Amino acid sequence: MNLYSRLGVIMTAINASFPIEKINDWIFDLDNTIYPAELNLFRRVSLRITEFVASHYNVQTKDARVIQKDLFHRYGTTMRGMMSEENIQPDVYLSYVHDIDVSDLSYDEELDEMLSSLPGRKHIFTNGTVSHAENILSAYGVGQHFDQIFDIVAANYIPKPEQYAFDRFLNRTGIDPDGAVMIEDMAANLRPAAALGMHTVWLASDIEWANRGSDEPFVHYKADNLKGFLRSLRAADY
């Protein structure tokens, strides 16, 4: 049994304590959350980011990756770093990097049914764009379940985990954090959510920057992927 299989079994038991009766709002990240990380779909976005960086700085791909990683770690997103240091236009950047092919995705009946069965409102809170989220949700056939998509543009280009992004999100949605759960693949993005009073679920990742902080107290629940977590709720007879 591999790591993720073991984790899925463990979480079926742990999630028996998940307070679903207290949840009025379900907050989902998009990339590597709505779809599983093993699809490598976000890799397509990352490659487009590398292309954009290489073109802007007029460097080879190898050097562009170094710049991309450095900006990401220092600013939270490569875009924010390039806005700060290079004065790029964010709409041009976002349009380019999210122009990916998702034609290999198809309707996910199980996810559709599980989202439909969840009580309360459902939201997408992403450092991507509305159009990117809509492409993914449409491909899976689950867009109708979400009350709104809050993206990086709505956050004035300030990404999670910055407190400003969370404040903007709460102001826009009117969510009471005590009755909300946030589900994310980047553990660090759950720190402000927990500080606000939300329940938090981390979707396990073997990506180093995604699992930073995953052993901290602000991560309340862990699962192998979104459908694994939702299955565990069903298994607990909610």
CATH number for 3-35+107-235: choose from 3.30.565.10, 3.40.50.1000, 3.30.413.10, 3.90.1170.50.
Answer: 3.40.50.1000
185: closest CA among 9, 69, 18, 33? 33
Distance from C-alpha of 97 to C-alpha of 236, rounded to nearest angstrom: 40
Q: What is the pLDDT of residue 237?
A: 56
Which range has the worst mean pLDDT, 74-78, 96-100, 189-193? 74-78
- Indicate if 41-97 has the same CATH topology as 3-35+107-235: no
CA 75 to chain centre: 17
Question: What is the per-residue pLDDT across 11-50, written as a single tens digit (0 to 9) for each?
Answer: 544 445 899 999 999 999 999 999 998 888 989 999 999 9
- Mean pLDDT across 150-162: 96
Residue 210 to residue 123: CA distance in whole angstroms:
21
- Which CATH fold would you assign to the domain 41-97? DNA polymerase; domain 1 (1.10.150)
Least confidently predicted of 97-101, 176-180, 193-197, 231-235: 231-235
Task: Give the rounded percent of residues in the chain with a pLDDT score beyond 70.
Answer: 92
Rounded Cα distance, 103 and 14, in Å: 36
Give CA angle at 41 (38, 47), nearest 5°.
Answer: 120
What sign has the CA pseudo-torsion 101, 104, 109, 114? negative
Domain edges within the chain: 3-35+107-235, 41-97
- Detail the DSSP E strand segments found in the chain: 25-28, 121-125, 148-150, 180-184, 199-203, 221-223
Q: Indicate if the pLDDT at residue 9 is higher than 60.
A: no
pLDDT beyond 50 at 114: yes
Q: Is residue 160 within 8 Å of residue 166, measured between CB atoms?
A: yes
Query: For residue 235, is pLDDT > 80?
Result: no
Nearest Cα neighbor of 191 from 221, 219, 229 is 219
Q: Write out pLDDT tens, residues 129-138.
A: 999 999 999 9
